A and B are shown apart, each in its own frame.
Chain A
Amino acid sequence: MQVPLSAYLILSAYLFLVGVVGVATRRNALIIFMSIELMLNAVNLTFLAFARFLNSMDGQVIVFFVMVVAAAEVAVGLAIIIAIYRNRETVDVAELNLLKW
């Protein structure tokens, strides 16, 4: 008996939603960022599961590109967080309210 596709997809959906809850709930910018990474990983799992079950290498190549882009995004995002911390002494997103009405 092999592991069915739905098992992978459900795990991936669960991880994605945990990430969404993290983004919507937490105030610490770094934890929000980590939740975004969790979402990206969940999507990678979905791509790989479909690649395996449909015998298509495209899924694996896309995962490779997702990882590269995630690395670039993390670098820039963390630099932004550092710059914000230098200016406002905080990483609490509730305090970053200059653009609020």
Chain B
Amino acid sequence: MTSLRRALIALAVLALALGLASLALILSSEHVSPRGLAATLTLLAGWGFVGTGLFAWDRRPGNRTGPLLTAIGFTWFFRALEASNNSVVFTIGALGLTLPYAILIHLLVTFPSGRLETRLQKSLVGVAYFITVLMQGAWLFFADPAREGCESCPQNAVMIGDAGIGEAISTGQALLAIPLIAATVVAVHRRWRRSSAGERRALTPVLATGGLAFVLLLTQLTVGQAGAEDVAVVPFVAAFAVFACLPFAFLIGLLRSRIGRDEEIRSALTAENVQLTAELRKMVEELRASRARIVEAGYAERRRVERDLHDGAQQRLVALTMNLRLARDRLAADPEGTADLLDEALEELAAATSELRELARGIHPAVLSDRGLDAAIGGLADRSPVPVDVLETPDGRLPESIESTSYFVIAEALTNVARYADAARATVRVAQTNGVVEIEVRDDGVGGADPEGGSGLRGLADRVAALEGQFEVRGEAGEGTTVRARIPCG
């Protein structure tokens, strides 16, 4: 059982006990009349408000309607103390006579959230508590029950002064309460008119019952102020009866406001949806950009291959053709010159062969497919102008795409080491652990590489990202550079 539910059960037991105590007080009262009606209405209102309040509190712990309803119920038992024949208890009870109405205004203008949000809500509720707590407290010091028509009431235990002041305060309370209640009724009506059909389902039972109770109370106060105390009893009893029904109206309204809660959930879902959509859109943008870069890198690679072929092997072969043709023409007339031409042709041929080999390796290293990453990395290390220590390579073969990407990461990183790092040594490590291949190329050079700077590094990052891996280049100036890629592997 949750601690909230335990507390709610304790409150229910307390309300039960206070209700019985109130019943005893009222039935034994010498000044309450008629006792039966007063006791019935007190129990109906007290237990009704506490019961529905606790139920609402339990069902909607984050909503303040439950606590407010419960509070009204307890004030009802508080004001029942006024039925006591003991002077002190009677006086304490008199302090709480008007309090339920203030909490009811609080509840009514803030339903269904129970939270004071607008300035109008705060003003109405502030004035209500001012009348029912501060003014009521002040009134108590000057109130004379006998003078107010209750001969059988006990003495006011805290009476300190002129009963005339008490009457004046009482009149002041009524004169403030009339516009307050009128404003509350207007505010509630306006609120209802502006609500959507779904909201009205929750608001109607509450606002109609509450509004009716206050209209009746307003009538009673107005008629009472006009001096017709006897006539005022009728609307007072009616208001009291409507008041007793109010907690059930709140309960119906609160349960119906589930619709409102659905809307809260829907709006939260919508917000989450919007955020997810934005994230998704960003990811799609990134994917689109990286796809475009990969395609562009493919074209750039082709242009490079074409240029390398054109400027390298092709030029050598053109020169070779011309030299061979010349040698053929000169063969008879100038055998010595022809031998020189042929030597030159052989040199061109060797250079062309070497350039074609390099080019082919740049497109795809055959050794990688034939003998695996370990042999291919060995070749890269051998050809690197900067001494390279190969610290670790995986034992078996890896999927082709991973071997290939690992190879090009290492090749590009070592090329950068040779070109820019001014390093004395470099290390290469490829480790396969927990389904991840981690590739690391580290040098002891000048550092300060910018991962966004070169198309080579960005191309590598895209290649690694295409395999759902991560790529990073680290190295503050003066601390060497570390290129690291992590690629998930089956």
Do A and B assemble together? no
Instruction: List chain A positions with a Cβ less than 8 A from chain B.
Output: none
